[in-house]
Amino acid sequence: MHPLLARLAGLVDLAGLGAWARACGLAEVRCAACGRPCDGHPATPSGAPESPSHAPALCPACALALAPRRGGICPRCGAPHALPTLPDAPCVHCLASPPPWAAFRMHGLYEGALRHLVLRVKFSEDHAAARLLGGLLATACADLPRPDGVVPVPLHPERLRRRGCNQCLELARLPAAALGAPLRPGWLTRVTPTRPQTGLSRQERRRNLRGAFTAHPDVRGRRILLVDDICTTGTTLARAVDCLLRAGAVAVDCAVAARTPAHPGRQG
């Protein structure tokens, strides 16, 4: 692109007229995942010709790398079976001890390009990455019943101050908009500063999260969609869902951007 045109396109983008500029061919469209120029047509990771309106542009390589995990999972917790070609079936853990949520939706496994994208959202306050990941999550949630409120898994206020924003709140925006439901971050609060769950055993995670959440009385009688970025053992989600149900929520569905590939029972 001629430097003058590029400068004009930049100014137009600053003015919030990016879509108009792209339509006029003034602005280069870049892949929302890798930032390389691409043809400007929004692509769903599944390669489907029809893109939902919230889908940003992806280059073909990123669309392939960010394809959702379809098949070969436990529909109750997202734990992957050995091969994606195996039929969906509950895992032994969910058969032995069913999780407290109603439906579970995830985009994919926490590896490769999706892991990279989740980390960008978590640690970089990268709003473009949050929009991309939120759009993928909205697609994964499209068949869920409309909730009364979409609730992000909260951070403790201390950690929120350190980090600046709750990445789960950013991720929840597009699923809430797509389902026509209000965002209700105030319906669930983290009351005890838990240490990070990474590296803890399943039992230590449970202990670490005991009494960690408190629910707002407004959840009584509501159906809730709870949004988290990464699900490792499902302990955080289970504690949060238990708390909402104890406070009178009628049902809680869960949506996670990424699920760790190792089974919770085998996690450290």
| Closest distance to Zn ion from the beta carbon of 237 (Å) | 12
Residue 59, interface with Zn ion (CB under 5 A)? yes
Say what the alpha-carbon torsion angle 168, 220, 216, 140 is, to the nearest 10 degrees: 0
Contact flag: residue 183 with Zn ion (CB under 5 A): no
Shortest Å distance, C-beta 36 to Zn ion: 5
Stretch that binds Zn ion, among 75-83, 146-154, 182-190, 225-233 (CB under 5 A): 75-83
Is 231 near Zn ion (CB under 5 A)?
Answer: no
Figure out which of the listed residues 9, 12, 29, 62 binds Zn ion, where binding follows CB under 5 A. 62
Q: How many Cα atoms within 13 Å fall on the side-chain side of residue 228?
A: 27
Give the whole-angstrom CA distance, residue 53 versus residue 44: 10
Q: Which stretch binds Zn ion (CB under 5 A): 90-98, 123-131, 172-180, 183-191?
A: 90-98
Q: Which part of the chain contacts Zn ion (CB under 5 A), choosing from 72-80, 190-198, 211-219, 243-251?
A: 72-80
The token duo for 66 is 């960010």
* Binder among 9, 44, 56, 76 for Zn ion (CB under 5 A): 76
Between 93 and 184, whose beta carbon lies closer to Zn ion? 93
Residue 33 interacting with Zn ion (CB under 5 A): yes
Longest dimension (CA), the chain: 65
> Across-strand partners of 80?
73
Q: Does 94 bind Zn ion (CB under 5 A)?
A: yes
- Residue 74 as a binder of Zn ion (CB under 5 A): the answer is yes
Nearer to Zn ion by C-beta: 84 or 186? 84
| Size of interface with Zn ion, in residues (CB under 5 A) | 11
176 binds Zn ion (CB under 5 A): no
- Decide: is 130 part of the binding site for Zn ion (CB under 5 A): no
- Using CB under 5 A as the binding rule, whether residue 79 contacts Zn ion is answered as yes
Residue 105 within binding range of Zn ion, rule CB under 5 A: no
Q: Which stretch binds Zn ion (CB under 5 A): 16-24, 27-35, 187-195, 218-226?
A: 27-35
Q: 223: which 2 tokens?
A: 């159906």
Give contact residues for Zn ion (rule: CB under 5 A). Answer: 31, 33-34, 59, 62, 74, 76-77, 79, 91, 94
